[in-house]
């Protein structure tokens, strides 16, 4: 069974440029998360989807970040324009409906963003 | 607001010994805690989930305890091996809305 797939694995851009990350969750997983992880820190939640609905986006900096999950499967996280401080690893995770209370989160390998 | 703290950034132990990692939380007791392993350049991998009404959970060489009086979870790896070297993250549901929040992690190094 395929795991959570993210692309690209690495992205280097100049500040003020846009960037987009794509995530394909495990088949059948209704819940999808985007996390941000800075070096030496734990993952920080950005947004959580239940199917196509963003049920918690309170941690998403909406002035420059946006996300969508069309048809309740794949998801895209976009940053426009990127700032130096956005350099981090962006992790996507999925789980069965109910989120962490019912079991584990499955993470992708992450997309490492470097903003110059 | 609720905080979760892993109070060791790094832990070095000798092969064969038991590694004990600590996760502390403030304020109210979460309904459950989860533990994950993360290798460099990889995403976290789920290890164990323990609920507040469970004192202890085991999986092979791993053991997790949950003490609501001390507001603490302990994660043990017995008979540690160099392959156990990784960062271990604890995570909990801060708001009861099934959003998982992570601690900063403890980097474990098992020395041969």
Distance CA B40, CA A76 (A): 24
Could you tell me the domains of chain A?
Answer: 5-115 (2.60.40.10)
> Which pLDDT value is given to residue B95?
61
> Which pLDDT value is given to residue B22?
95
Q: Is B61 on the interface with A (CB under 8 A)?
A: no
Grade residue B105 by pLDDT with cuts at 50, 70 and 90.
Answer: very high
Q: Is the pLDDT of residue B93 over 90?
A: no
Q: If you measure CA to CA, which chain B residue comes closest to A55?
A: B97
Nearest CA to A96 among A53, A23, A32, A1? A32
> Which pLDDT value is given to residue B98?
67
Q: Is the pLDDT of residue A14 over 90?
A: yes
Mutate to test the interface with A, among B98, B101, B107 (most CBs of A within 10 A): B98
Q: Is B102 on the interface with A (CB under 8 A)?
A: yes
Distance CA B19, CA B83 (A): 13
- Is the torsion defined by CA of A22, A41, B56, B32 positive or negative? negative
Q: What is the CA radius of gyration of chain A?
A: 13
> Which pLDDT value is given to residue A56?
86
Which class for A71: exposed (0-12), middle (13-18), buried (19 or more C-beta within 10 A)?
Answer: exposed
Could you tell me the domains of chain B?
Answer: 4-111 (2.60.40.10)
Q: Is the pLDDT of residue A72 over 90?
A: no
Grade residue B5 by pLDDT with cuts at 50, 70 and 90.
Answer: confident
> In the sheet that B72-77 helps form, which strands lie side by side, from edge to edge?
B4-5, B19-25, B72-77, B62-67, B56-59
Considering CB atoms only, which of A43, A48, A106 is closest to B102? A43
**Residue B52: strand, helix, or coil:** coil
pLDDT, one tens digit per residue, over B51-71 is: 888 889 999 999 999 988 888
Q: If you measure CA to CA, which chain A residue comes closest to B31?
A: A101
Inter-chain touch B98–A98, beta carbons under 8 Å: yes
Q: Is the pLDDT of residue A70 over 90?
A: no
Q: Is B10 on the interface with A (CB under 8 A)?
A: no
pLDDT, one tens digit per residue, over B15-45 is: 999 999 999 988 777 778 899 999 999 999 9
Considering CB atoms only, which of A4, A56, A106 is closest to B99? A56
Inter-chain touch B103–A4, beta carbons under 8 Å: no
């Amino acid at each position: 069974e395929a795991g959570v797939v993210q692309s690209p694995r690495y992205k280097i851009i100049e500040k003020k440029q846009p960037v987009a990350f794509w995530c394909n969750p495990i088949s059948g997983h209704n819940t999808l998360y985007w996390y941000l992880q800075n070096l030496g820190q734990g993952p920080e939640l950005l947004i959580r989807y239940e199917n196509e609905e963003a049920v918690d986006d309170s941690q998403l900096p909406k002035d420059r970040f946006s996300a969508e999950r069309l048809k309740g499967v794949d998801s895209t996280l976009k940053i426009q324009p990127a700032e130096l401080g956005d350099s981090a690893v962006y992790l996507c995770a999925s789980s069965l409906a109910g989120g962490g209370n019912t079991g584990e989160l499955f993470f992708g390998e992450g997309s490492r963003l470097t903003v110059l | 607001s609720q905080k979760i703290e892993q109070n060791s950034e790094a832990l070095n132990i000798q092969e064969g010994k038991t590694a004990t990692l600590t996760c502390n939380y403030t304020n109210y007791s979460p309904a459950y805690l989860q533990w994950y392993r993360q290798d460099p350049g990889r995403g976290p991998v789920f290890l164990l989930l323990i609920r507040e009404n469970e004192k202890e959970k085991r999986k092979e060489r791993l053991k997790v305890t949950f003490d609501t009086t001390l507001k603490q979870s302990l994660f043990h790896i017995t008979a540690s091996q160099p392959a156990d070297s990784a960062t271990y993250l604890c995570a909990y549901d801060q708001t009861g809305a099934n959003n998982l929040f992570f601690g900063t992690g403890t980097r474990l190094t098992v020395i041969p």
